[in-house]
Amino acid sequence: MGRFPDGTCRVAVTEGEVEMEHNGGITDEDVAEGYILSCCSTPKTHLVVDY
Ligand code: FES
């Protein structure tokens, strides 16, 4: 992740789960809609993402 999270790595998870540790760059609404920041997420299952 860059020094200032900017959200450019945002992707939508369509299947699976991740653990995300971020310092900004994504809104609560984005998260509620299934988006993650791929730079600071760790897959917990097999994933399918849309970007
Ligand atoms: S690369 Fe900027 S938030 Fe992930």
Tell me whether residue 39 is exposed, middle or buried, using C-beta atoms within 10 angstroms of its C-beta: 0 to 12, 13 to 18, 19 or more.
middle
Q: For the chain, what is the mean pLDDT?
A: 91
4 within domain boundaries:
no
Judged against a pLDDT cut of 60, whether residue 1 lies above it is answered with no
Tokens 């789960």 -> residue: 17
Tokens coding 13: 């998870």
The whole-number average pLDDT for the span 11-30 is 94
Using most ligand atoms within 8 A of CB, pick from 18, 26, 37, 42 the residue to mutate for ligand 1: 37
The whole-number average pLDDT for the span 31-49 is 96
24 compared with 11, residue with greater pLDDT: 11
Which residue range is the domain that position 37 belongs to? 10-50
1 within domain boundaries:
no
Q: Rg of the chain over CA atoms, in angstroms?
A: 10
5 within domain boundaries:
no
For residue 19, the cross-strand partners are 42
Tally of domains in the chain: 1
Tokens coding 9: 């790595």
Query: What's the whole-model pTM score?
Result: 0.86
34 within domain boundaries:
yes
Q: Which H or E run contains 30?
A: helix 28-32
The whole-number average pLDDT for the span 13-19 is 97
3 within domain boundaries:
no
Q: Which atom of ligand 1 is nearest to the CA of 6?
A: 2
